[in-house]
Structure 1
Amino acid sequence: MTVVDAKNLRDRLQTIDSTILHEWMEQDQVTLIDVREPSEFAGEHIPGARLMPLSRFNPEAVAAESGNYLVLYCQTGNRSAEAAQQLFRAGMEQVMHLNGGLSEWKRHGYSTNVNKNAPISIMRQVQIVAGSLVLVGTLLGAFVSPWFLLLSGFVGAGLTFAGISGICAMARLLAKLPYNQRV
């Protein structure tokens, strides 16, 4: 795909806000798809949403109910935009995503289904693992061999790449763990 094609896909993506989504949901006019990982969905999601994680997203399996708007959402809007681009490439014409994702939905005070027994979020898991690796790398670098500082540098580079690209390899790896697959 050329740069122009990617820009065209981004330009076609329609963004809606939480207020409009809430109105459509009350009128039963929306097919809502959550593209976060199963552990995130299990922990909290918008009532009525279907789970289709981006890590195994299949555009052919996506279909809006007749007469409904198709709306995707994630935590902040990055992953839903990526899933929408996959749908455009597969030939779907009308795709929207929730501006600001679940975070914005909650900021407006709309309800969510919360499961207190669900695993902690993928991003918190990433923070725990990345922080632990940096701490261990730094301590081993200070007390054993300076070569261990490469571990901290590698994790820092990975986090920088994730921040710039919106793609976190560690989150994708953690999402594959069995306890994160439960819904």
Structure 2
Amino acid sequence: MITEIDSETLKSRLSQGDEILLVDVRTSSEVAQGALPNAIHIPMAVLPVRAAELPREREMVIYCRSGARSYHCCQFLAQQGFDKALNLRGGIMAWARHGYAFEPIGGA
């Protein structure tokens, strides 16, 4: 069972200062169009070899364009013992529909 979070809840938690790691699993060309503030970029294709870079003890939200790829990434991470990975329901499209901020990504 993959746990999901919606854009409104994520925005609220980030605004309250919750320490949530944001992981963008989109392609580099998608990320170039903007990302969630302070997100790191680990494309879905390389997640299996870079998963060790992620902190197991920290809550993280995985996102893509629509929420489908990130859902699969959350499934993979759960199989690897990451129990604090949340999928952003609706992806960055849902985030954008609410008018929330985008910015260039630092970890690309």
What TM-score do the two structures reach when normalised by structure 1?
Answer: 0.52
- For 1:103, the equivalent position in structure 2 comes to 93
Q: Which of 79, 100, 106 lines up with 1:89 in the alignment? A: 79
Q: 2:28 aligns with which of 24, 38, 57?
A: 38
What's the % identity of the aligned pairs? 31
Q: 1:60 maps to which residue?
A: 52
Structure 1 counterpart of 2:24, which letter?
D
Single out whichever of 79-88 and 23-32 deviates more from structure 2: 23-32
Gaps of 5+ in 1: 1-11, 116-182
4+ long deviations beyond 6 Å: none
d(CA) in 2 for partners of 1:96, 1:22: 14
Cross-structure match for 1:113? 103
Q: Secondary structure at the match of 2:78?
A: helix
Q: Relative contact order: is structure 1 or structure 2 higher (C-alpha 8 Å, sep ≥ 6)? A: 2
CA RMSD across the alignment: 1.8
TM superposition shift of 1:33: 0.4
- 2:19 maps to which residue? 29
Is 1:18–2:3 an aligned residue pair?
A: no
Distance between the aligned counterparts of 1:106 and 1:43, measured in 2?
12
Task: Specify the structure having the higher radius of gyration (Cα).
Answer: 1
Deviation at 1:43, TM superposition (A): 1.6
Query: How far did residue 18 of structure 1 move?
Result: 0.5
Matched residue SS, 1:93: coil
Query: What's the secondary structure of 2:32's corresponding residue?
Result: helix
Number of equivalenced pairs? 103
Unpaired runs of 5+ residues, structure 2, are none
